[in-house]
């Protein structure tokens, strides 16, 4: 057990080192100002002390001031909600409540929880029982002196065997119950972690875009890594230890009270001291652990930033300044560590004192009752009392760890219960396999906002795009061009209005049905780590010949055939071993392979050179002749010969006509844009 605790202590430190869960991500989100941390360090005990006074006995961890924190936080965020993109989750999910324990117990299964507690009680009873059996053995008058039963008598041997068998019986039951307990606990632990993981994963994969807008990736990764790790490996152990120590203390008290009844009088004062220690130590320690890892994570972020910018640091000759700053952060971390160690010592002193009082009380009672107590009983009472201190200390630590670890359940639960996007499929409105056959798009009064409380970014768009038309979407930055394409794919649900494609209202369709029938070539080419073939045809729907054909049209076949592994060429993470232009061409090949009637190009060529841009545009013109193409253009020359130009401004349509017509009108916005770009001479005939 001690080894486990030591291991746990190390892992607490290690977790912190690794920038555990929220803390590392906190540092990623914003680098923490040292002064803030110092201020927090200085202020936290006061707040926690206040909290400890306010805590009710039945309140396992939630508390009024926790609630205050949350309320304060909510009030704060409500005030600034509109302007805040990433919400602070610090206090929202930092303290567990009784509800969290219930949630965890529900995931484990109430029946299993009861079974585990009963098994634990059995273990403790057996442990105490074996102690009592030893007492009986040593106190047996027939064995106590050789005059009662001679050393070599058969009866003495039988009696010894009897006690030995009883002791061995207790040992056996203890071993079996421990084995069953451990097996059950581990099995349930795996099941719970799997259930909670799957629940969370299914929600996160289907989370709406606003979730990803407002949630840093680090936060999501931390829920799937450290929070699940805690549930996978630590939580059930710490809980088992906490329950085990509580039952242990009760059973030890019962034994001591049975042997020395005077001890009953001491139970209440001891309980009061214990309660005091518990409410002061647990929250303080928890907070100090958080601060430690928070401060430590600032060291790591500073260190990695300095490493990353080492060339600049040297170029400006400011190594000394960075070293001083680093040492200052180290000092800060040591201060937090020192406070943490002091807190541990504070507990040790109180526990040792309490232990001394308990042992002293037992010894005094034994002396007082010496006429009625046997030596074996006194021995048992003293040994149990000596053990009590360690058990109580252990319990305090375990309760503290449980309260820290259980927060992970809350965090995972939060993601497991979030709202998800609309249904992926809607049986009653599943479109025909050939939909959209023509690619006619009718947008009526389309309004869109990214999140509740934000302003509309599209304000009543009305556009009718005929089948097969090539439409260039232009407008100033922030005009709503990308938002319009997101609305087509329902990545953001419209606030009002409809988009009809070939007479089907896209709002009625399942999201998967809708998105799989449209194609988008985004600005940032998305390449996954894996083979080129996997990137082109992830679901292996197409034959090699078709894949090669798409590569040919994407002007990539020469490049790919020159590769050693050809289609099996490893693309590396994010396509790191391909140039940006090549990545964009791979995406184009993917689009060509999965050709649909409606194609959206969202500034697809913004990051490539003119030559690649030209290649892509030529391919689009030749290969998507019968498709409806919507192109968000940053270079006007790419759309100047399109059928129509849609000019957006502040979320509204300001012009929608053929480029020729618009350029003929000297008052049109498009005319001005073209003029500014020096393309007036290129007017299409
Ligand atoms: N994820 C988002 N959350 C909240 N608001 C957003 C989000 N994305 C864009 N906006 C806002 O919506 C408005 C329209 O943005 P959008 O990206 O559609 O413009 P755009 O015309 O495509 O601009 P650009 O040419 O710079 O890409 C802007 O005011 C922008 O601030």
Bigger pLDDT: 518 vs 65: 518
Spell out a b/e string for 273-308, using b for 16 or more CB atoms within 10 Å of the CB, else e.
bbeebbbbbbbbbbbbbbbbbbbbbbbbbbeeebee
Under the banding of pLDDT at 50, 70 and 90, the label for residue 55 is: very low
Q: Is the CB of 480 under 6 A from ligand 1?
A: yes
Q: Whose CA is nearest to atom 1 of ligand 1?
A: 213
Question: What does each C-alpha distance from 55 to 5, 48, 60, 94, 242 come to in angstroms?
Answer: 27, 10, 9, 16, 20
Please tell me the chain's helix, strand, coil percentages from 3-state DSSP, rounded to the nearest 5: 65, 10, 25
pLDDT at 681: 65
pLDDT at 97: 78
Q: CA torsion sign, 377 to 378 to 383 to 385?
A: positive
For residue 484, the ligand 1 atom closest to its alpha carbon is 18
Q: Is the CB of 485 under 6 A from ligand 1?
A: no
Ligand 1 centroid distance, CA of 484 (Å): 10
Spell out a b/e string for 392-401, using b for 16 or more CB atoms within 10 Å of the CB, else e.
bbbbbbbbbb
Instruction: Could you list the beta-strand ranges (E) of 18-135.
Output: none
Residue of 481, 484, 601 best suited for mutating to test ligand 1, as the one with most atoms within 8 Å of CB: 481
Ligand 1 centroid distance, CA of 480 (Å): 6
Question: What does each C-alpha distance from 171 to 132, 175, 177, 387 come to in angstroms?
Answer: 13, 6, 10, 19
- Whether omega before 592 lies within 30 degrees of 0, making that bond cis, reads no
pLDDT tens by residue, 298-354: 888 888 889 889 999 999 999 999 999 999 999 998 998 999 899 989 988 888 888
Bigger pLDDT: 502 vs 619: 502
Closest by CA to 519, choosing from 498, 501, 497, 544, is 501
| Residues 407, 410: Cα–Cα separation, whole Å | 5
How many CB atoms are located within 10 Å of the residue 497 CB? 18
> What is the pLDDT of the chain when averaged over all its residues?
80
Of 43-57, 133-147, 230-244, minimum mean pLDDT range: 43-57
Is residue 398 pLDDT above 50, yes or no? Answer: yes
Closest by CA to 463, choosing from 623, 630, 222, is 630
CB–CB of 90/291 below 8 Å?
A: no
Closest by CA to 640, choosing from 619, 662, 616, is 662
Under the banding of pLDDT at 50, 70 and 90, the label for residue 26 is: very low
Write the CB contacts of 499 (distance below 8 Å, at least 6 apart in sequence).
441, 442, 443, 444, 446, 487, 488, 505, 506, 507
Is residue 295 pLDDT above 90, yes or no? Answer: no
DSSP 576-637: TTS-HHHHHHHHHHHHHHT--SEEEEESTTTTS-HHHHHHHHHHHHHH-TTSEEEEE-SSGG
Q: Whose CA is nearest to atom 18 of ligand 1?
A: 480
Residues in the chain: 685
pLDDT at 61: 34
Q: Is the CB of 497 under 6 A from ligand 1?
A: no
Q: Is the CB of 457 under 6 A from ligand 1?
A: yes
DSSP 347-409: HHHHHHHHHHHHHHHHHHHHHHTTTT--HHHHHHHHHHHHHHHHHHHHHHHHHHHHHHHHHHH
Ligand 1 centroid distance, CA of 488 (Å): 15
SS (H, E, C) 57-80: CCCCCCCHHHHHHHHHHHHHHHHH
CB–CB of 230/192 below 8 Å?
A: no
> Under DSSP, is residue 657 helix (H, G, I), strand (E, B) or coil?
strand
Torsion angles phi and psi, residue 526, rounded to 5: -100, 115
Q: Whose CA is nearest to atom 6 of ligand 1?
A: 450
CB–CB of 497/446 below 8 Å?
A: yes
pLDDT tens by residue, 459-474: 999 999 999 999 999 9
**Average confidence (pLDDT) over 54-59:** 32
| Residues 66, 462: Cα–Cα separation, whole Å | 50
CB–CB of 479/669 below 8 Å?
A: no
Spell out the domain ranges in the chain.
2-83, 95-252, 522-595
pLDDT at 169: 93
pLDDT > 70 fraction of the chain, expressed in percent and rounded: 83
Ligand 1 centroid distance, CA of 35 (Å): 35
pLDDT > 90 fraction of the chain, expressed in percent and rounded: 24
pLDDT at 62: 34
pLDDT at 77: 40
Is residue 292 pLDDT above 70, yes or no? Answer: yes
Ligand 1 centroid distance, CA of 308 (Å): 31
pTM tops 0.80: no
**Average confidence (pLDDT) over 135-152:** 71
The number of angstroms, rounded, from the C-alpha of 656 to the middle of its chain's C-alpha atoms is 46
pLDDT tens by residue, 412-429: 888 898 889 988 888 778
Residue of 213, 214, 477, 482 best suited for mutating to test ligand 1, as the one with most atoms within 8 Å of CB: 482
Q: Is the CB of 223 under 6 A from ligand 1?
A: no
Q: Exposure of 523 by Cβ count < 10 A (0-12 exposed, 13-18 middle, 19+ buried)?
A: middle
Distance between first and last Cα of the chain = 85
Q: Is the CB of 360 under 6 A from ligand 1?
A: no
pLDDT at 683: 62
Ligand 1 centroid distance, CA of 406 (Å): 39
Query: Domain 95-252, what fold?
Result: ABC transporter transmembrane region fold (1.20.1560)
Q: Is the CB of 477 under 6 A from ligand 1?
A: yes
**Average confidence (pLDDT) over 12-30:** 41
Spell out a b/e string for 9-21, using b for 16 or more CB atoms within 10 Å of the CB, else e.
eebbbebbbbbbb
How many CB atoms are located within 10 Å of the residue 480 CB? 24
For residue 209, the ligand 1 atom closest to its alpha carbon is 1
| Residues 32, 298: Cα–Cα separation, whole Å | 6
Left if phi > 0, otherwise alpha if psi is -120 to 50, otherwise beta: which for 228?
alpha
| Residues 589, 583: Cα–Cα separation, whole Å | 10
Under the banding of pLDDT at 50, 70 and 90, the label for residue 56 is: very low
Q: Is the CB of 482 under 6 A from ligand 1?
A: yes
Q: Whose CA is nearest to atom 19 of ligand 1?
A: 478
Torsion angles phi and psi, residue 460, rounded to 5: 75, 65
Stated as kind and residue range, the H or E segment containing 42 is: helix 34-54
Q: Whose CA is nearest to atom 28 of ligand 1?
A: 478
ipTM (interface pTM): 0.97
pLDDT at 645: 93
DSSP 425-461: --GGGPPPTT-SSS--EEEEEEEE-SSTTSPPSEEEE
pLDDT tens by residue, 564-616: 888 888 888 778 888 888 888 888 899 888 888 899 988 777 767 777 777 77
**Average confidence (pLDDT) over 355-381:** 83
CB–CB of 633/606 below 8 Å?
A: no
Q: Is the CB of 283 under 6 A from ligand 1?
A: no
pLDDT at 648: 92
> Which superfamily does 522-595 belong to?
P-loop containing nucleotide triphosphate hydrolases (3.40.50.300)
pLDDT at 444: 93
pLDDT tens by residue, 184-230: 998 998 888 888 899 999 999 999 988 888 888 877 888 888 888 88
Q: Is the CB of 85 under 6 A from ligand 1?
A: no
pLDDT tens by residue, 101-134: 888 898 889 999 999 999 999 998 998 888 888 8
pLDDT tens by residue, 636-648: 888 888 899 999 9
Q: Is the CB of 481 under 6 A from ligand 1?
A: yes
Q: Is the CB of 450 under 6 A from ligand 1?
A: yes
Is residue 135 pLDDT above 70, yes or no? Answer: yes
pLDDT at 144: 64
For residue 213, the ligand 1 atom closest to its alpha carbon is 1
């Amino acid at each position: 057990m001690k080894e486990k605790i030591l291991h746990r202590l190390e892992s607490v430190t290690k977790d912190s080192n690794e920038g555990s869960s929220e803390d590392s991500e906190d540092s990623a989100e914003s680098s923490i100002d040292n002064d803030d941390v110092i201020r927090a360090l200085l202020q936290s005990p006061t707040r926690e002390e206040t909290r400890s006074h306010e805590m009710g006995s039945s309140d396992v961890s939630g508390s009024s001031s926790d609630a205050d924190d949350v309320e304060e936080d909510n009030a704060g965020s409500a005030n600034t909600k509109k302007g805040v993109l990433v919400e602070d989750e610090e206090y929202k999910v930092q303290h567990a409540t009784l509800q969290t324990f219930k949630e965890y117990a529900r995931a484990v299964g109430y029946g299993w929880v009861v079974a585990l507690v009963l098994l634990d009680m059995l273990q403790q009873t057996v442990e105490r029982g074996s102690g009592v059996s030893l007492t009986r053995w040593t106190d047996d008058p027939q064995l106590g002196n050789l005059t009662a039963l001679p050393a070599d008598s058969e009866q003495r041997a039988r009696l010894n065997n009897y006690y030995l068998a009883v002791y061995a019986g207790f040992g056996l039951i203890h071993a079996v119950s421990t084995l069953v307990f451990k097996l059950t606990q581990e099995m349930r632990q795996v099941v719970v972690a799997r259930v909670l993981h799957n629940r969370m994963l299914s929600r996160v994969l289907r989370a709406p875009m606003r979730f990803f807008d407002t949630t840093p990736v680090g936060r999501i990764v931390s829920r799937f890594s450290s929070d699940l790790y805690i549930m996978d490996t630590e939580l059930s152990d710490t809980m088992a230890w906490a329950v085990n120590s509580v039952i242990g203390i009760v059973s030890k008290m019962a034994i001591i009270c049975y042997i020395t009844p005077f001890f009953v009088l001491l139970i209440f004062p001891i309980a009061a001291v214990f309660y005091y220690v518990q409410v002061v130590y647990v929250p303080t320690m928890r907070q100090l652990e958080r601060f430690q890892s928070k401060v430590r994570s600032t060291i790591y972020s500073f260190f990695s930033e300095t490493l990353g910018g080492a060339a600049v640091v040297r170029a400006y000759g400011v190594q000394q300044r960075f070293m001083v700053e680093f040492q200052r952060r180290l000092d800060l971390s040591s201060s937090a560590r020192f406070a943490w160690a002091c807190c541990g010592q504070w507990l040790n002193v109180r526990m040792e004192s309490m232990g001394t009082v308990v042992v002293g009380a037992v010894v005094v009672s034994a002396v007082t009752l010496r006429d009625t107590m046997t030596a074996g009983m006194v021995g048992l009472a003293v040994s149990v009392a000596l053990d009590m201190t360690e058990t109580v200390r252990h319990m305090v630590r375990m309760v503290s760890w449980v309260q820290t670890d259980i927060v992970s359940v809350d965090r995972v639960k939060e993601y497991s219960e979030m709202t998800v996007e609309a249904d992926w499929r809607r049986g009653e409105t599943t479109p025909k396999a050939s939909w959209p056959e023509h690619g006619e798009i009718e947008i009526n009064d389309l309004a869109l906002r990214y999140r509740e409380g934000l302003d509309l970014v599209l304000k009543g768009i009305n556009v009718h795009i005929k089948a097969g038309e090539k439409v260039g979407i232009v407008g100033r930055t922030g005009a709503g061009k990308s938002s319009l394409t997101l609305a087509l794919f329902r990545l953001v649900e419209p606030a009002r209005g409809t988009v009809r494609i070939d007479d089907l209202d896209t709002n009625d369709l399942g999201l998967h049905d809708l998105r799989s029938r449209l194609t988008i070539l985004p600005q940032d080419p998305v390449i996954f780590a894996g083979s080129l073939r996997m990137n082109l045809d992830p679901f292996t729907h197409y034959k090699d010949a078709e894949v090669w054909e798409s590569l040919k049209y994407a002007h990539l076949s020469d490049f790919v055939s020159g590769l050693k592994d050809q289609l099996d060429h490893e693309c590396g993470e994010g396509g790191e071993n391909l140039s940006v232009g090549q990545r964009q061409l791979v995406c184009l090949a993917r689009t060509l392979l999965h050709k649909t009637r409606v194609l959206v190009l969202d500034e697809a060529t913004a990051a490539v050179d003119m030559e690649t841009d030209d290649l892509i545009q030529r391919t689009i013109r030749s290969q998507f002749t019968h498709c409806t193409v919507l192109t968000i253009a940053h270079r006007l020359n790419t759309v100047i010969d399109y059928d129509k130009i849609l000019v957006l401004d502040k979320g509204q349509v300001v012009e929608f006509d053929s480029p020729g017509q618009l350029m003929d009108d000297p008052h049109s916005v498009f005319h001005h844009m073209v003029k500014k770009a020096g393309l007036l001479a290129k007017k299409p005939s």
